[in-house]
Amino acid sequence: MPTRPLFRRLTALAVAAGLAVSLAACSTSSPEAAAPSGSSDGAFPVTIESSLGSVTIPSKPKRVVTIGWGSADTVVALGTTPVGIEEVTFGGDSSKDYPWVTAAIEKRGDALPKTFAVYPDIDVSALAALDPDVIIAPQSGITAAQYKTLSALAPTVAYPGKAWTTPWQEQIGIIGKALGESAKAATLVTDLTTTMADAAAANPEFSKLSFSYVYAAEPGSLSIYQKGDPRIDLLTGLGLTEDPTIAALPKASGTSFTDLGLEKADLLDKTDVVFTWFNDEANEKQIEAQPLFARIPAVERGSYVPVVDQKLAMASTVITPLSVPYALERYVALIEKAAAKVD
């Protein structure tokens, strides 16, 4: 289970990316803040700095292994099928990967990657058996000790700031540099930004809505995801505006969330649309039965988007060239339905 704040409590452009995958197809720093250093696009060796150490990749990697959220998506979108990925334990398909990644690989006709466990610790033996040329983990929670172990197996690309806080644009850029595909990576960022902007333009009513995205999947809990978390960045990319009362709340140090407690649910009184996710329908009913939660105005009037589908929950938790098209096909209709209930 991911150790990222809040998600450790889980019980748990396909079109735009077509250039690279033959498809018609998480921050406290700015996207430009920690660009990887190295030689020109496609030239090796290349050196990439991270908070856990500097790594030099001597030649273009062929056998790529990914750890963390969104890295496999981007590797595939850049034209490489990983030989190994971390096992998906929430929102995955029968291959233990996310369905949007599986679909892109199958469309290409490649074999699906091997999977390996990362919780409660990384299965180093299984990873080593994959004989990686590089290990990609710029949006992950790997520790300094794990980084040292992984680096003994292959050059390992970690995160530039704190764990789980790499902006999506920077994540794509780092992966592009590691694979010698910086120009393609820049195109993916542009195309992905355009995809979200096009969805916003197609739904102009979204620009009139304030929103808050809460975590409430445990009785009595209420936490707020804040700017810098991909869930928020996706919704603002679609034209919605974070409720200013919520946006002004201080974040927990080194994170993009604020813990409140359900007793402070009145801070959501002016929010037009409230978003959240649940582990399953039983969890949803349990939380919605709490009087303080049920009295949140957006919940009462139905301008409320509870995501119970685990695959959609994860597709709207990362921003990648493959996850966003999958999310928008399902998410936009839910937002439209909620928007119609706003007074």
For residues 186 and 170, what is the distance between their CA atoms, to the nearest angstrom? 10
**Residue in the structure block whose two tokens are 């292994």:** 65
Residue 222: the pLDDT is 97
Which tokens belong to 192? 């992905």
Q: Which CATH superfamily is domain 201-339 in?
A: Nitrogenase molybdenum iron protein domain (3.40.50.1980)
Mapped onto helix, strand or coil, the DSSP state of residue 32 is coil
Residue 40: the pLDDT is 58
Pairing of strands 210-215, 241-242: parallel
Name the architecture of domain 7-181+191-195: 3-Layer(aba) Sandwich (3.40)
DSSP state of 36: P
Q: Determine the longest span between alpha carbons in the chain, in angstroms.
A: 60
CB atoms within 10 A of CB 18: 17
For residues 200 and 182, what is the distance between their CA atoms, to the nearest angstrom? 27
* Fold: same for 7-181+191-195 and 201-339: yes
Using alpha carbons, select from 152, 148, 154, 26 the residue that is nearest to residue 84.
154
CB atoms within 10 A of CB 251: 17
Walking along the chain (343 residues) 10 residues at a time, the average pLDDT comes out as 36 34 32 43 92 98 98 98 97 95 97 96 98 98 98 98 95 98 98 98 97 96 94 98 96 86 97 98 97 98 97 97 98 97 91
CB atoms within 10 A of CB 216: 26
Residue 36: the pLDDT is 43
Domain boundaries, the chain: 7-181+191-195, 201-339
Beta bridge partners of 214: 224
